[in-house]
Amino acid sequence: MKIIVIIFLILNSTIILSQEKKVFFESPNGIFFTSSDLHIHTVFSDGLVWPTVRVEEALKDSLDLIAITDHIEYQPHQKDIPNPDRNRSFQLALGFNNDIPLKIIPGTEITKPMPPGHMNALFIKDANKFVYDIKDDLQYTNGLYEAKKQNAFVFWNHPMWRQDQRKDGIATLDPVHKKLIKEKLIHGIEVVNMFTFSEEALEIAIENNLTILGNSDVHVLIDWDYNNERESFHRPITFIISEKQNIKEYKKSLFDRKTFVWYHDLVIGLEENLKIVIDNNLQISSLGYFNLFGDKSKVLNLELTNSSVAPIKLLYNGEFTFENNSKLIEIKPRSTKKIYVKTKENLEEIELNFDVLNYIIGMKKNLKINKKVIP
């Protein structure tokens, strides 16, 4: 029986490794969009899976980078899994990861009541130094100052969480958060956590120069939470925009706010970051004016191509009307759509202005784009 189980695990790992890696969004030459999940739990805190399972799940989901972020204070499995070394979950994941194209960074979740709530510290050197023999849970500053000593990147987890942080589901800054941001002890904020998206958290990020993140916060098997029945049922993913693919560069990009988030059908981030995404994933090309009995008509045939895994939902804001579509245009993932533009006369160039309805750049704000097309 043991032999059968071992063979199954080996075959399963081989299948995962041999599957073709997914390209989520096309990026410009010399720039990488690194897919990551930076909030993950294992049995070494309150998760239900072994760290090596998290590695296999990430590979199956075509991720480039994960962070193991088990709770420091909350250890419900300690009777069954004593945890004297808080670095152990990271070490197990890293040891399993030899010769696998997935990078893993060490992290931990500093778990305090509100305020200030839960914080993830990434790129830490030693998780054991975050453990303090202090009964007063309000001593949150110890963990954050330790994170600063270890030159960690720190972000505020699920600030919209109704169960434990905000009963109204609205992310709000308390005086202590303002103090921590001013002291540069917090560098980012989750605008997406598991199944929730917070426009208020996005606004906090923009107003306070915090990095925008979206993570799964997975505790069970990833496929129990996100069944991938279709691509919009995926785990939330933070994409890190960088010029190189290494840990040092990822850390720099996180501090520089070079991120965007894919959540269901939404793409969320700073305007300048989402412009890079849309410019490289939406192409509009002219197929020329339709011919009418040998003469050019005044209806221009355009082809819109979406190269990404997310749909692109456009609202046209210009003077033209379309022969085959309303001003609402949706291009499904990795597909093309034709629109016939009634230009009234044969033009040498046309300009199309759109709101990208599912590209979110702020509270009730969508990305606006301008595309020039030569017929």
Does residue 276 sit within a domain?
no
The partner residues of 301 in beta bridges, in order of sequence, read 340
Same domain, 289 and 255: no
Q: Which CATH number goes with the domain that contains 139?
A: 3.20.20.140
Same domain, 77 and 202: yes
195: CB partners within 8 A, 6+ apart: none
Same domain, 120 and 221: yes
pLDDT at position 307 = 97
pLDDT at position 172 = 82
DSSP conformational letter for 248: H
DSSP conformational letter for 310: S
Same domain, 72 and 133: yes
| Number of Cβ within a 10 Å radius of residue 346 | 11
- Whole-number Å distance between alpha carbons of 177 and 254: 19
**3-state DSSP call for residue 158?**
coil
Does residue 8 sit within a domain?
no
Same domain, 171 and 105: yes
Per the listing, tokens 């245009």 go with: 329
Residue pair 280/269 in contact (Cβ under 8 Å)? The answer is no
> Which structural domain range is residue 226 located in?
23-269
Q: Which token pair is 80?
A: 């069954």
Same domain, 227 and 292: no
Does residue 9 sit within a domain?
no
- Whole-number Å distance between alpha carbons of 113 and 122: 20
Mean pLDDT by 10 residues, the chain (375 residues): 43 51 92 97 89 94 95 74 84 80 93 80 94 59 90 92 71 88 96 95 97 94 78 88 96 98 97 98 95 83 97 96 95 96 92 97 97 91
- Whole-number Å distance between alpha carbons of 40 and 51: 9
| Number of Cβ within a 10 Å radius of residue 328 | 10
Q: Which token pair is 106?
A: 């060490």
pLDDT at position 2 = 44
pLDDT at position 21 = 77
Same domain, 293 and 253: no
- Whole-number Å distance between alpha carbons of 216 and 359: 20
Q: Which CATH number goes with the domain that contains 297?
A: 2.60.40.10
Does residue 13 sit within a domain?
no
Q: What is the CA radius of gyration of the chain?
A: 23
The partner residues of 366 in beta bridges, in order of sequence, read 360
**3-state DSSP call for residue 344?**
coil
